[in-house]
Amino acid sequence: MTTAIASPGGLPGPLKGGLLAVAVLGACWGGAIWYWRGAASTPGTVELALVLLALPLALVGSMWFGGKLLARRAAAAPAASASTAVTAAAPAAALPALAIVSSAVRSPYGASAEELAGAIAGNTLRPDLDAELVDDDGFPVAAARCEDAQDEAFQEEMSEWLVQNGMPDLRFGDVQWRALTLGSAVVAELASRAVDLLPAEGKPPVLRLLPSLPADWTLEQRRGAGLWFRHLAASFGWPAAQVVLPEADSALASATASCTQLARTAAKETAPVVALVMACASHIGQDIVDEWAGKGILFTSGRPQGLVPGEGAAGLLLTDARLAQSIAGALFALLDPAEEAPRETATPARQRANPALLGELAQRAGRRGETEMADIAMVVADSGQRQGRTLELMGMVSSAMSQLDESEDVFCVGSASGACGDVPFVTALALAQHGTLVRAAPVLCIGNEDAQGCHAFLLRPPVSDLI
């Protein structure tokens, strides 16, 4: 809950209106007295009533109604701009739904979607003070640290593999090793499940490996990490020649962009589409804390709109809907293409909460998936510690989906994971898939933590008429 503090120079609305009425009344009466003192005739009863009573009331009333009209127009402006922005971002052509057949999560509060969902339930989970990370004054800072991110045996194994594969000079820092450790666990888990999608006969389909890595990694580091992930995927049984990586620059692509591209591929190709979309990142390092503190973006008690250092990894095993439907006994959730819209051009700390924009995205996602807002059983978002983002999400839910209980049906993943790139949103998609399967009902996944734009995915149970 936030507390609004009025500025010292501001006046309460009733007092300001009273002073304005007194000023109008004084001006009318003063002008009338000055005029009548110089006039030859005495004013009559009608003139007195018109000038001393009717005229002041008319002026005050017109000012009051004019202020109300301007306020209504100002309130309607954000909704209109949101609708215009979303309309401009609408896709030119309809894209098919994908199927999430499996997910994997490594987070500070759970190593699976089910475990993390249980920890987040109630939205009371908050990162603790870290014993190793301190601010400029030497006090511990809040951070979301994964206990499984430090694994020396894994570092030795991957370092040996890099040497054997012609990359002996490639180096990773401590924070990067933490991200690689968590990301490798996610890739290995999903790769072990992907082999169930291999056909009994014929050539296996291409497995598209689409990692989203931190933007500050070098091109060589992204390339080396991608090749290592491909090695992991092949080690679990998928033919190495059929595991395809994008260009190293594409490792900066977000999960939303990757899913959109996969939907386009599924729309134009007849061959089965299989992909492993994952994200990993870590900001658990003193250098990063010092950098954020210097920029004024670190979360502290005096800066509640700052960022909390976090880390984690999450991934999705995706196929086209027809392939998922053809697998006997497969449990999956349909993932409709994203609805996206840009934010206003302002720094994150100054951006206003815009529940109308999220509401419009939710409505568009529902119409695309032929789903009413009243049928949505759960909302999962990547919203973090910043109150503006959480209030924006809750405002959208209360106005568009009043059937939901904000403490039980709305999950804010970023509050548990901290700031770690694209990981909170991929984690939100994994939780949304879990919620769709458990509740057997549509789930809305919202991404509103990014400063540049927001997006919405609708996940829904499979239907029987896909084939």
Predicted confidence (pLDDT) at residue 78 exceeds the cutoff of 80: no
What would the mean pLDDT of 19-28 be, rounded to a whole number? Answer: 68
pLDDT of amino acid 385? 78
Identity (one letter) of the amino acid at 390? T
What would the mean pLDDT of 20-43 be, rounded to a whole number? Answer: 66
Predicted confidence (pLDDT) at residue 57 exceeds the cutoff of 50: yes
Percentage, residues of the chain above pLDDT 70: 78
pLDDT of amino acid 463? 73
Predicted confidence (pLDDT) at residue 74 exceeds the cutoff of 60: no
Report which of 285, 397, 263 is spatially closest to residue 339, judged by C-alpha positions: 263
**Could you tell me which residues are beta bridge partners of residue 444?**
379, 458
Q: Sort strands 453-460 and 339-342 into parallel, antiparallel or unpaired.
A: antiparallel
From 89-93, 187-191, 206-210, 369-373, the region with the lowest mean pLDDT: 89-93
Predicted confidence (pLDDT) at residue 440 exceeds the cutoff of 70: yes
pLDDT of amino acid 42? 65
- With bands split at pLDDT 50, 70 and 90, how would you rate the model's confidence at 409? very high
Measure the N-to-C terminal CA separation of the chain; round to a whole number of Å: 49
- With bands split at pLDDT 50, 70 and 90, how would you rate the model's confidence at 121? confident
Contact between 451 and 344 under an 8 Å Cβ cutoff? The reply is no
From residue 126, how far is each of 9, 146, 234, 375 by CA, in Å?
37, 14, 38, 30
More confident residue, 8 or 330: 330
Predicted confidence (pLDDT) at residue 8 exceeds the cutoff of 50: no
Cβ within 8 Å of residue 427, ≥6 positions away:
105, 107, 116, 312, 314, 382, 413, 417
More confident residue, 66 or 120: 120
168-214: pLDDT as tens digits = 999 999 999 999 999 999 999 999 999 999 998 889 999 999 999 99
More confident residue, 420 or 51: 420
Identity (one letter) of the amino acid at 425? F
Q: Sort strands 128-134 and 333-335 into parallel, antiparallel or unpaired.
A: unpaired
What would the mean pLDDT of 266-292 be, rounded to a whole number? Answer: 95
pLDDT of amino acid 365? 96
pLDDT of amino acid 58? 73
